[in-house]
Amino acid sequence: MTHVPKTFTDSFGRIIRDLRISLTDRCNFRCLYCLPETEEAANFFRTRRSETATPIPYVWKPRVNLLTYEEIERVTRIAVAHGVEKIRLTGGEPLLRRDVPALVARLAAIDGLKDLALTTNGFHFVEQAEALRKAGLRRVTISLDSLERDNFTKLTGRDALDTVLKAIRLARDLGFHPLRVNAVIIRHLNDHEIESLAEFARAENIALRYIEFMPLDSRRAWQMEHVVPAREILARLQARHALEPVVADSKSATATRWRFADGRGEVGFIAPVSEPFCGHCNRLRLTADGKIRTCLFSLHEHDLKAQLRDGANAADDETVAAWLRGVILHKEARHHIGEEGFQQPDRPMSAIGG
């Protein structure tokens, strides 16, 4: 009898432990690094020598094309049965999807799932926070790219700084832990806020993650000159604060972490451009319309929904698991950002799932 491995493992020996599930490709923000469709975003890139960059039109997927909650639960059960331990719900903006707490409750009840988290822009979080917590959500990550109202609006296309700050503080007060706040840093746009964002993390006793600007924007205006390397950010913070390194939980951790010496809050750095961590990547992505992406920068997507919805010929769980195993074997060794011939994925971050 042929031995079938219990875990999903790629051809480089990396065991898939982390599945990121997008609930919707829709978003109510227009962030400059993702969907830079505002006039201010266009002006920024135009003045930064990206005059030829033009948006790639993206049409939102009809709701009928999205995976149902029943399908998401089924895929999650299969994944967990084969070694996946962490599920992160993403978007677009996941809280634009109806009844997310109901889905959270379904997933939280799956035996063997160790970590269930949500990434959100925070705009609709306050009205759903308690229901999400009661449903079993334990971790949340909220985006905060600026502490200046005008700059926040420029970055996100929405005047919602106060709403997001309220969401962050409520998440902390409700006991979501660890509470993480993500800030994408773009040179000449919000890099002057690096220190103030760190002060915010310390004052609020939360974990802030600085993320390098990646080539996943619909305008295709990304250039290396916009990237502020993580080492540069760290050096600036060390010039002002006593920081102590935090040992990573695992080799597959995406962030390098530092705590403030007084024990209040921490900062972290996700540096896929300047310091790629592909060698230990254990992540898989499921888009809202049912496609598997083996890398954030994959140029090819694999149609899982077809396996789930083929009428009388729909695959059973064992067949779905075998199909996933075959897809994962072809997971890329690494991305090629900054290299000659690099190709940006057709779909922007909002459609891929963060």
pLDDT in tens, 260-317: 998 899 999 998 888 877 888 999 999 999 999 998 888 889 999 999 997 657 789 9
For residues 1 and 178, what is the distance between their CA atoms, to the nearest angstrom? Answer: 44
Question: For residue 173, which amino acid is it?
Answer: D
pTM, 2 dp: 0.91
For residues 102 and 97, what is the distance between their CA atoms, to the nearest angstrom? Answer: 11
Task: Check residue 51 and give its pLDDT.
Answer: 46
Helices (H), 208-254: 230-238
Among 284, 274, 275, CA closest to 331: 284
For residues 316 and 323, what is the distance between their CA atoms, to the nearest angstrom? Answer: 11
E strand or H helix at 131: helix 125-135
pLDDT by residue for the chain (354 residues), tens only, comes to 455 568 999 999 999 999 999 999 999 999 888 887 777 766 776 665 554 555 555 677 778 889 999 999 999 999 999 999 999 999 999 999 999 999 999 999 999 999 999 999 999 999 999 999 999 999 999 999 999 999 999 999 999 999 999 999 999 999 999 899 999 999 999 999 999 999 999 999 999 999 999 877 766 677 889 999 999 999 999 999 999 999 887 776 788 999 999 889 999 999 888 887 788 899 999 999 999 999 888 888 999 999 999 765 778 999 999 999 999 999 988 876 776 776 777 777 778 876
Taking CA atoms, 34 is separated from 29, 171, 206, 237, in Å, by 9, 25, 25, 26
β-pairing, 139-143 vs 179-185, is parallel
DSSP classification of residue 279: G
Domains observed in the chain: 18-346 (3.20.20.70)
